[in-house]
Amino acid sequence: MTYKYIYDLKNNIDRFSEDKLKEIEDIIKDRYQYILLSKEDGEFSKKIYQKLSKNPFIKKGKIAVGGCKGSYADQVANIIFEDKKISYFKRFSEILDSIEKEKSQYGILPLENSSYGSVKEVYNLMLKRNFYIIGSFKLDINHFLLGNIDANLADIKEVYSHPQALGQCRDYIYERNFKENEYFNTALSAKYVKESNDKSKAAIASKFAAKEYGLKILDKNIQNEENNYTRFIIVAKDIKIFENSNKISIRLKALDKPGSLIEIVEFFKILGINMTKLESSPIPGSDFKFIFYFDFDGNIREKKVRVLLDILKKEADDFEFMGNYIEF
């Protein structure tokens, strides 16, 4: 495309139809994509590429999860890992502590729910702690109201559960005028209700927790939405990219200039990469500054993915590669 052609296009833009302008846009996009894909790999993408493994995901190891037996994270661990030793922790930060101290190889954390949004505590930990995503799993969540053996639904005055679970069941809670009590974890709340031996208290947890702690199911499927899914991530201390990894997560801050985020998003379009998520999250302690989280389809083996990572490393502030992993 010559400079004269560009000059003519700029000065005669009003003469072109919408279809013609779209055709010109596609030509420019294809040419720009060709130029980008012709570049040599940058140092950043080379470094990530070296983490590739020819091996499939290893379904064994020491796993750190939140809560106790019967938690939703416990279910995920049992679904994914065949040969495992599971350790349980009250707080998400303790899961990462266990990984950093190499007492556990992997951790399982809830990241987002289809009806109640992101787990902000986990997003905040992403900013403070160094860990990498090596897998993710979407679990169908059905919440149950669990009480002691001598309790009936009419006896319940207050409920205990994790804030996410309480939020996912808020319509049910409000309708019955229950008092909400936040607790570390759904399964831990079930254990607490059992130990309290108080028939006015109930937990919102899984049917597996009911069985584990000998509680009575007072009501089932009490979540606001029938289709209620939570996405869990499997994390590790170091980058591990297994065979058939098909999803990439990154985070970054856009440059402090007008249109910088749009320019970043445009590279996905130019390179033909399918972005599956873009979410902003306020940076704790900042004056309304935000970090942006991206998920997109791809594998570091693909040239267009390596080109994109090198561009973002150069064009964005505080760019972090969070993992190239398998969606189970």
Same fold, 23-52+245-327 and 60-140+229-236: no
CA distance linking residue 162 with residue 67, whole number of Å: 10
Residue 1 has what pLDDT?
A: 47
Residue 289 has what pLDDT?
A: 82
CA distance linking residue 170 with residue 243, whole number of Å: 41
Environment class of residue 155 by beta-carbon count within 10 Å: exposed (0-12), middle (13-18) or buried (19+)? middle
CATH topology of domain 60-140+229-236: D-Maltodextrin-Binding Protein; domain 2 (3.40.190)
Residue 18 has what pLDDT?
A: 72
Residue 89 has what pLDDT?
A: 97
> Domain 23-52+245-327 class?
alpha beta
CA distance linking residue 159 with residue 141, whole number of Å: 18
Contact 322, 235 (CB under 8 A): no
- The tens-digit pLDDT sequence of the chain (328 residues) is 444 555 555 566 666 677 766 776 677 777 888 788 999 999 999 999 999 998 899 899 999 999 999 999 999 999 999 999 999 999 999 999 999 999 999 999 999 999 899 998 999 898 889 899 999 999 999 999 999 999 999 999 999 999 999 999 999 999 999 999 999 999 999 999 999 999 999 999 999 999 999 999 999 999 999 999 999 999 999 999 998 999 999 999 877 778 888 999 999 999 999 999 999 988 888 787 889 999 999 999 999 999 999 999 998 989 999 999 999 9
Q: Where are the domains of the chain?
A: 23-52+245-327, 60-140+229-236, 144-220
What residue has token string 């970054």? 252
Residue 256 has what pLDDT?
A: 74
Residue 20 has what pLDDT?
A: 66
Residue 27 has what pLDDT?
A: 76
Contact 168, 124 (CB under 8 A): no
Residue 2 has what pLDDT?
A: 47
Chain-centroid distance of CA 235 in Å reads: 11
Residue 311 has what pLDDT?
A: 95
Best CATH choice for the domain 144-220 from the list 3.40.30.10, 3.40.190.10, 3.30.460.80, 3.40.630.10: 3.40.190.10
* Radius of gyration in angstroms for the set of CA atoms belonging to the chain, rounded to a whole number: 24
Residue 324 has what pLDDT?
A: 98
φ, ψ dihedrals at 316, nearest 5°: -115, 160
